[in-house]
Structure 1
Amino acid sequence: MKYKLIKVLSICLILSFLTGCWDQKLLKDTMFLSTVAYEKKKDKVISTIAIRSYTSKEGTLVNKTYHVAGDSPRDDRTKINQQVSGIVMSAKKRIVLFENQLAKEGVLELSDVLYRTSESPLTAKYVIVEGKPSTIVELQQVGEELIGEYLDGVVHTAEVNSLVPVETLQSLCTVLFDEGKGLALPYVKLNTENKTVDVIGTALFNEDKFSGITLNPEESKVLLLLGNQKGKYMIMSHKITIHDQQYVVSYDVSGAKAKMHLTPDAMYGAKVTIPLHVKVSINEFTKNEMSSPALTKKVQEEIEKILQKKAEKVVGKLQKANCDFLEIGREAAAYHPSIWKRLKWRQDYKNISINPKVQVEIIHRGIIN
């Protein structure tokens, strides 16, 4: 009897220390935000928000779009909560759109509320929009997809096909606070004719500010090759000239490996050489046959020339934008501390010498060859 009494008292004592559900948020009182677009008008931040809800008859998901103007994203959220019949949560937010002009003022300040809120989804994607991003959210849905799911699918497809770098809310923070790294985000615009969104390239950043310099899709692919960030697929196509005749050659990038050699330099502060070895599989060649080793070598040389020219152009744009996407600064800090300490990286990066060296190898010429 005494043992049972002690056991009961012990259980009661333990239960008194349990907090219970003191911080519950019921789903029936919650409205989930799927997409938000930020733009600026005078001194106000304009938020266009897509909130998912269910129709009363069929129980299907629909979007409701809200527009608010406030002093900050948190102020906008407070005003949204005054307009809806529930508590707005961002746990299912997938895409954050920024107007290109607003992004030039910096994205970190607008992101502060996301990093301080525990419900913020760390896998959300940032996208820069040419023009007003509110016009994209106002589409509400494209085909059978709601705008949040549609935009998430567009960005994911672009990442898989090596059109844009993979960047999330979580990884973006580590890039912005590291002096030896540079940020690049997907760049899109509204296709007014088809009422869809086109991925038109990559936006380059100087710290957290959009530099105004962009890469087109072909240049974006070369950027990812130089940074060893190729996605699952990468298909490229060029016009080449052989014996004064033009042909179209298309190929899959089967594999690529870029290395980095960094040395001190009296004139530029540092000299960087980036050997890039690209293995390709030909999947289209309008000359039809490609059985001759001499012809194969000529096609290989032509592709090499084109990629070399594009790589040099990409590096030039990176330095003009002061965007160290290739993480040369991290390489210097880790393996060449004397160079890192001598240079003020933010100021000196755009003046160092960066020389890509592209080498192409055709490993497959198609099933008929």
Structure 2
Amino acid sequence: MKKAWIIVVAASQLILSGCWDQRILKESRLVFGTGMDLIEDDRLLVTSVIRDYSNNVPINAIVTGEGRTFRETRMDMDRKIAGRFDPSKNRVFLFGEKLVQKDLYSFLDVVYRDPDASVSSKLAVVKGNAGDVLNAGRVQNVLIAEYLIKLIESEEKETTIPEQSLQTICSVLFDDGKDFGLPAIKREGDEIILDGMAMFNRHTLAGYLSPDETVLLQMLLNKKAKIARYVSKINENQEPANKNYISYTFLKSKAKMKILSAQPGRMRAEITMKAEINVAEYPQDTLTKEKTKKQLNRKISKELTEDAERVISKIQEANSDLFGIARELMAYYPDRWDKVEWKKEYPSMEIVPKVEVEITEYGVIN
């Protein structure tokens, strides 16, 4: 019986077709970066960076496609290149400012439906046209797609931009209880600069936060990365001017949001944060005094609370619920939630931040 079974299995190898749906790498043109822009008549212009080689040196081949849909632009690009257009290795998507003022998801729909799409691809909004950034070719002698990835990943570790990818924003795109932000990029001459965060109201661009504002927001959201640096103004009219400021790094921190009132028309929330900091620069150099330390704790806490108020005001003005207050209301106050027109209520509700810091480290000197 065993021998008969072996004969059957061996014979079946002669008639089985094996893996027919194969993709041969040498026949593919691999895409490493993609930029989407909206042009006249609401047509889509897509710019793709394809890895190529000249004398065994890697170079960028830039190809563009135009169409009414993202899929149509891919078909257009496929007709312009030798080999098969293959976006499976795409590592970064850039969205032009005009495009994200429309419905972002409508342009990502084809990507989420594609089984070969890389869901780990990074995302960013360009202040201007996405194509202009990719057409830079090289920045600091690094190919543009690699440069953008390194730039985004390094700033994620500095807490100056949110850590986002195709995968992380997917669930939020379909979540009525929370909005999201993406890194913002701009091009100035030959330089490509990360410039804070683009805020979204549902699927539409609603405004921007600066890098400093993004750091503070990330701290209030309990999303501190490996490093989080900040500068606070603690004095007025000191000479030289750097004596008016203190630079520090956040160490341990914990933030918490609490709904104080869920009554429609009188909604109120509180966001508290406690943090320990390490002083990186303090030109007045009197940190050995306990009195000075307590004064600085109070001044920095006050300054951070005021900064948090301005950030929250900016977020509310953009009608971008980055704290997910709506999600909390849905979960814990469903009867009140059913009576609320959230996007009308949210911009005017009271959100009170309270920040307390304590200096626990001073660098290598006191």
- What secondary structure, in the 3-state scheme, does the structure 2 residue paired with 1:91 have? helix
Residue in 2 that maps onto 1:238: 232
**Greater mean alpha carbon deviation, residues 241-250 or residues 268-277:** 241-250
Query: What amino acid maps onto 1:225 in structure 2?
Result: M
- What secondary structure, in the 3-state scheme, does the structure 1 residue paired with 2:123 have? strand
Q: 2:191 aligns with which of 180, 183, 196?
A: 196
Matched, 1:218 2:212: yes
Pairwise CA distance, 1:147: 0.7
Deviations 1:283-315 (A, max 9, x none): 110102311111111112221122111111111
Residue in 2 that maps onto 1:46: 45
Q: Distance in 1 between matches of 2:319 and 2:51?
A: 39
Pairwise CA distance, 1:172: 0.9
Q: Distance in 2 between matches of 1:266 and 1:170?
A: 35
Q: 2:232 touches 2:304 (CA, 8 Å); kept in 1?
A: no
Matched, 1:105 2:102: yes
Pairwise CA distance, 1:15: 7.0
Deviations 1:259-294 (A, max 9, x none): 111133546342111111121111110102311111
- What secondary structure, in the 3-state scheme, does the structure 1 residue paired with 2:244 have? strand
Unmatched 5+ stretches in structure 1: none
Matched, 1:119 2:119: no
**Greater mean alpha carbon deviation, residues 114-123 or residues 359-368:** 359-368
**Greater mean alpha carbon deviation, residues 297-306 or residues 112-121:** 297-306
Matched, 1:25 2:20: no
- The percentage of aligned residue pairs carrying the same residue is 29
Residues 104 and 367 of structure 1: CA distance in aligned 2, closer, same or farther (over 3 Å): same
What is the TM-score of this pair, normalised by structure 1? 0.92
- What secondary structure, in the 3-state scheme, does the structure 2 residue paired with 1:121 have? coil
Residues 60 and 340 of structure 1: CA distance in aligned 2, closer, same or farther (over 3 Å): same
Query: What amino acid maps onto 2:45 in structure 1?
Result: I
Deviations 1:170-207 (A, max 9, x none): 11111110011111011110021xx1211111111110
Q: Distance in 1 between matches of 2:149 and 2:237?
A: 46
**Greater mean alpha carbon deviation, residues 261-270 or residues 76-85:** 261-270
Residue in 2 that maps onto 1:73: 70
Query: What amino acid maps onto 1:28 in structure 2?
Result: K
Q: Distance in 1 between matches of 2:5 and 2:235?
A: 92
What is the TM-score of this pair, normalised by structure 2? 0.93
Query: What amino acid maps onto 2:33 in structure 1?
Result: T
Task: Count the aligned residue pairs.
Answer: 362
- What secondary structure, in the 3-state scheme, does the structure 2 residue paired with 1:159 have? helix
Matched, 1:181 2:178: yes
Query: What amino acid maps onto 1:12 in structure 2?
Result: A
Q: Distance in 2 between matches of 1:225 and 1:110?
A: 31
- What secondary structure, in the 3-state scheme, does the structure 1 residue paired with 2:337 have? helix
Q: 1:103 touches 1:209 (CA, 8 Å); kept in 2?
A: yes
- What secondary structure, in the 3-state scheme, does the structure 2 residue paired with 1:256 have? strand
Q: Structure 1 segments of 4 or more deviating over 6 A? A: 242-245
Residues 6 and 61 of structure 1: CA distance in aligned 2, closer, same or farther (over 3 Å): same
Q: Distance in 2 between matches of 1:295 and 1:154?
A: 38
Residues 243 and 35 of structure 1: CA distance in aligned 2, closer, same or farther (over 3 Å): closer
Pairwise CA distance, 1:318: 1.4
Q: Distance in 2 between matches of 1:230 and 1:203?
A: 18
Q: 2:94 touches 2:130 (CA, 8 Å); kept in 1?
A: yes
Unmatched 5+ stretches in structure 2: none
Q: 1:180 touches 1:345 (CA, 8 Å); kept in 2?
A: no
Pairwise CA distance, 1:14: 7.7
Q: 1:242 touches 1:298 (CA, 8 Å); kept in 2?
A: no
Residues 104 and 7 of structure 1: CA distance in aligned 2, closer, same or farther (over 3 Å): same
Q: 1:229 aligns with which of 223, 229, 233?
A: 223
Residue in 1 that maps onto 2:293: 296
Residue in 2 that maps onto 1:9: 8
**Greater mean alpha carbon deviation, residues 321-330 or residues 340-349:** 340-349
Aligned ranges 1:279-294 → 2 under 5 Å: 279-294=276-291
Deviations 1:221-261 (A, max 9, x none): 11101111111101112332179774321101012211111
- What secondary structure, in the 3-state scheme, does the structure 2 residue paired with 1:241 have? coil
- What secondary structure, in the 3-state scheme, does the structure 1 residue paired with 2:182 have? strand
Query: What amino acid maps onto 1:63 in structure 2?
Result: N
Deviations 1:288-347 (A, max 9, x none): 231111111111222112211111111111111111111112222223333333323344
Residues 208 and 11 of structure 1: CA distance in aligned 2, closer, same or farther (over 3 Å): same
Q: Distance in 2 between matches of 1:80 and 1:272?
A: 50
